Amino acid sequence: MSEPYTVGILTVSDTASVDSSVDKSGPLIKSILSDTQKYSVSQQTIVNDEIHAIQNTITSWSELNLIIITGGTGFSPRDVTPEAVKPLLTKETPGITHLLLSSSIAITPFAALSRPITGIRNKTMIITLPGSPKACQENMDAVLKVLPHALDLLLDRSVKKFHTKIQQGGVDVSSGAAGTNGTHGTNDAIGGGGGGHTCTHKHDVEGDASQTGQSASLDTPVARRLRASPYPLIHVDKALKIVAEQAKVLNVINVPVSQFLPGYVLAENVVAIEPVPGYRASVVDGYAIHFEDGPGVYQVESISLAQQASCQPLTRGKIARVATGGMVPEGANAVIMVEDTKLVREQGNEELEVEILVSSVENQNIRGVGSDCPVGQLVGRRGQRIGTELGTLASVGVRHVKAYRKPRVGILSSGNEVLDHMHTDELKPGQIRDTNRITLLAAVAASGFEAVDLGIVDDDVDEIFERLEEAVAKVDVLITTGGVSMGEADFMKPILEQKMQATIHFGRVLMKPGKPTTFATIPQGKRASKLVFALPGNPVSATVAFHLFVLPALRRMAGWEKPEHALIPVKIQHDIALDTRPEYHRVFVHIENGNLMASSTGNQQSSRLMSMVEANGLLQLPMRTPDIAVLSKGISVPCILIGSLTK
Ligand code: AMP
Ligand code: MG
């Protein structure tokens, strides 16, 4: 028998939290669970009806397989258990909630006044039961039938074995689950779990039990391939969050202050090591004077030009010619601009006497030492992304800075039909030119990151494996295109999983284009994991998925403080029909009468690369609902800018 599931029982009750002897339901649940060998109750506590108390307990029990909560699910103002639990769930399990309600309602209609919530938090199943011991008993009777199978699926325990069986032609769920008796012959059937009903799961719903998040074995013959993706279709926001969690800031390196520094993010505060100016400098072309001498005719004593290293002190009652930026001689305490003087006497080309026409104040037209930037002044902030203001660093003597390394990004195309775009022979039927590789190489480079061309690989398991292994050794991030859909030659996911020991974090995203977008990480021992974005082959899908998912990850790795895309509201210039999936609609955004206006680039089919031409924005369109099928002209829609607003 496999290891027992670890369980925590939480009683939520103001009264029981003061006097634990009042709690009947908690001990009852424990005794029900103890009747079988399948569960081990390792935690049990009582808290009052407070959201934070409930949440603190749940989050501190993150290692448990199952948390059963009793109490706080009713209608009284103090009942807040569902409100505490819901935000902590990563997935809701409405089927189990329904099971709880329906089993109790069958006994009494008053069970409708319970507000149970059930769901999954990472690897923990959470179930809320009413406070009354009777209702707990009824609910436990119902839910215990499905719990072992639910937990096995969640914990990935017997699931692989289970699914292999299914591929081989049917399995009786009752053998794998607790006491259910439905007979299920297809992959669709998994997780239905009860009462002999025929399951008709919709595969696109996240949480569908057939979505194991694992591909079929690479040895599976085509006739036995899965006919529905085993990867749950997740929302874009969730996918972005997953990528953000995996994309870690890279190591710190020393970067010279040069024209190649812009784009790096400082990993340290940088201070001025030299003052600017380093000497007292004149602001104007003119004459250095003692301001106390006032207007009058003076003998010109010496010359100081900007490039002169030093000059003699100025004698009292005399003046000295200085140029803009030139050093003001010692003793002088103001500079009069040449326009406020008159030549009185000359010899040859030399000025002998000059009349100062105006009076001045101390330090007039003199930049003191360090007046622009003193030594120790902060000239670069940790986390600041360097732009063309790097001259500041240069001016204060900073020659190297510590910055976060920028990711190296490899790009590999895949597909037997894909040929290098420079191929000179006429294409044979079925062949296409590789557009993804140059597009993505250009996009990576244009975004300021290092792009590595990894060529094209055939749809061949061994070849792909070899090329992926080579690639992973060379880069921080690998982008592949093609081979992630449902075709017989779509090997990317199973190779990553079964040969590269990658973790596939998601294999499908609810979006258009780019639904098969796949994200995986490959562990590297103590070193940072390599990130793999296995993008769909369709050129538009690959490009949109790059902008949406890859670019923010690259920025995050390079240390950007806000790597996410900014969403800018733009007004649409014509009606746009909504799709059944949230869509990233390519648009041209421009400014008209002070407004940002967006017009579609036309047919948005994911193979039609023309829809990217001149596109500088991705409109974030919501999915169609029964109420809203079209967004009307003039409506404001959030947009990701992927290009310049100016032409
Ligand atoms: P796949 O994701 O491999 O099923 O490919 C989906 C579609 O994208 C097919 O029509 C492929 O021919 C096309 N495709 C795949 N890779 C590329 C590429 N590198 N450049 C252009 N089109 C591609
Ligand atoms: Mg392909």
pLDDT band at residue 312 using 50, 70 and 90 as cut-offs: confident
pLDDT digits (tens, 9 = 90+) for 582-593: 999 999 999 999
| pLDDT score, position 219 | 85
Q: Lowest-confidence range among 85-99, 166-180, 626-640? A: 166-180
Q: Is 473 helix (H, G, I), strand (E, B) or coil?
A: helix
pLDDT digits (tens, 9 = 90+) for 547-591: 999 999 999 999 999 999 999 999 999 999 999 999 999 999 999
Alpha helix positions (H), 47-132: 51-60, 81-85, 94-105
Structure tokens at 6: 């670890």
Q: Ranked by mean pLDDT, which of 130-144, 189-203, 410-424 comes out on top?
A: 410-424
Of 423, 436, 464, the one to substitute when testing ligand 1's pocket (max ligand atoms within 8 A of C-beta) is 436
| pLDDT score, position 188 | 27
Please state whether beta strands 595-600 and 378-380 pair in parallel, antiparallel, or not at all (unpaired).
unpaired
Which ligand is closest in space to the CA of residue 542? 1
- What is the residue with the minimal CA distance to atom 6 of ligand 1? 537
Residue 514 falls in which region: left (phi positive, over 0), alpha (psi -120 to 50) or beta = left
pTM of this structure: 0.69
pLDDT digits (tens, 9 = 90+) for 244-285: 999 999 999 999 999 999 999 999 999 999 999 999 999 999
Task: Report the first-to-last Cα separation within the chain, whole angstroms.
Answer: 68
Which ligand is closest in space to the CA of residue 481? 1
How many angstroms separate the alpha carbon of residue 482 from the centre of ligand 2?
5
**Which domains, from first to last, does the chain contain?**
5-154 (3.40.980.10), 233-248+406-557 (3.40.980.10), 252-275+373-404 (3.90.105.10), 281-367 (2.170.190.11), 567-641 (2.40.340.10)
Which ligand is closest in space to the CA of residue 516? 1
Ligand 1 atom with the shortest distance to the CA of 413: 19
How many angstroms separate the alpha carbon of residue 431 from the centre of ligand 1?
10
Beta-carbon count within 10 A of 31 CB: 10
pLDDT, the chain, mean? 89
How many angstroms separate the alpha carbon of residue 469 from the centre of ligand 1?
22
Residue 257 falls in which region: left (phi positive, over 0), alpha (psi -120 to 50) or beta = beta
CA count, 13 A, side-chain hemisphere, 264: 24
Which ligand is closest in space to the CA of residue 489? 2
How many angstroms separate the alpha carbon of residue 459 from the centre of ligand 2?
7
How many angstroms separate the alpha carbon of residue 418 from the centre of ligand 1?
7
pLDDT digits (tens, 9 = 90+) for 342-390: 999 999 989 999 999 999 999 999 999 999 999 999 999 999 999 999 9
Structure tokens at 626: 């029964």
Give bridge partners of residue 561 from the DSSP assignment.
Answer: none
Residues sharing a CB contact under 8 Å with residue 509, sequence separation 6 or more, in sequence order: 233, 234, 235, 236, 239, 515, 517
Structure tokens at 30: 């424990």
More confident residue, 603 or 145: 603
| pLDDT score, position 206 | 59
Of 418, 486, 610, the one to substitute when testing ligand 1's pocket (max ligand atoms within 8 A of C-beta) is 418
Which ligand is closest in space to the CA of residue 436? 1
Average pLDDT, integer, range 211-224: 83
Peptide bond into 277 cis (omega under 30): yes
Of 229, 413, 458, 538, the one to substitute when testing ligand 1's pocket (max ligand atoms within 8 A of C-beta) is 538
**Contact indicator for 440, 543 with CB cutoff of 8 Å:** yes
Q: Is the pLDDT of residue 292 over 90?
A: yes
| pLDDT score, position 275 | 98
Question: What DSSP string describes 315-384?
Answer: PTTEEEEE-TTPBPPTT--EEEEGGGEEEEEEETTEEEEEEE-S---TTTTEE-TTSSB-TT-EEE-TTP
| pLDDT score, position 328 | 94
Please state whether beta strands 270-271 and 378-380 pair in parallel, antiparallel, or not at all (unpaired).
antiparallel
How many angstroms separate the alpha carbon of residue 600 from the centre of ligand 2?
28
Find the helix or strand (DSSP H, E) in which 162 lies: helix 159-167
| pLDDT score, position 180 | 30
SS3 track for 401-456: EEEECCCEEEEEEECCCEECCCCCCCCCCCCEECCHHHHHHHHHHHCCCEEEEEEE
pLDDT digits (tens, 9 = 90+) for 415-473: 999 999 999 999 999 999 999 999 999 999 999 999 999 999 999 999 999 999 999 99
Residues sharing a CB contact under 8 Å with residue 533, sequence separation 6 or more, in sequence order: 477, 478, 479, 480, 517, 518, 519, 545, 546, 549, 550, 553
Q: Is the pLDDT of residue 172 over 70?
A: no
Find, among 207, 148, 211, 219, the residue nearest to 180 by Cα: 148
More confident residue, 238 or 36: 238
Q: How far apart are CA 500 and CA 513, in angstroms?
A: 27
| pLDDT score, position 177 | 30
pLDDT band at residue 1 using 50, 70 and 90 as cut-offs: low
Q: How far apart are CA 49 and CA 81, in angstroms?
A: 7
Q: Is the pLDDT of residue 545 over 70?
A: yes
pLDDT digits (tens, 9 = 90+) for 476-485: 999 999 999 9
Ligand 1 atom with the shortest distance to the CA of 538: 8
Alpha helix positions (H), 499-548: 539-545
How many angstroms separate the alpha carbon of residue 536 from the centre of ligand 2?
8
Share of the chain above pLDDT 90, in %: 76
| pLDDT score, position 211 | 77
Who lines ligand 1 at CB under 6 A? 413, 415, 417-418, 432, 434-437, 481-485, 487, 490, 536-539
Structure tokens at 415: 């597909």
CA count, 13 A, side-chain hemisphere, 370: 10
| pLDDT score, position 305 | 53
How many angstroms separate the alpha carbon of residue 641 from the centre of ligand 2?
29
**Contact indicator for 472, 530 with CB cutoff of 8 Å:** yes
pLDDT digits (tens, 9 = 90+) for 30-63: 999 988 888 999 999 999 999 999 999 999 999 9
pLDDT band at residue 162 using 50, 70 and 90 as cut-offs: very low
Q: Is the pLDDT of residue 398 over 70?
A: yes
| pLDDT score, position 307 | 54
Share of the chain above pLDDT 70, in %: 90
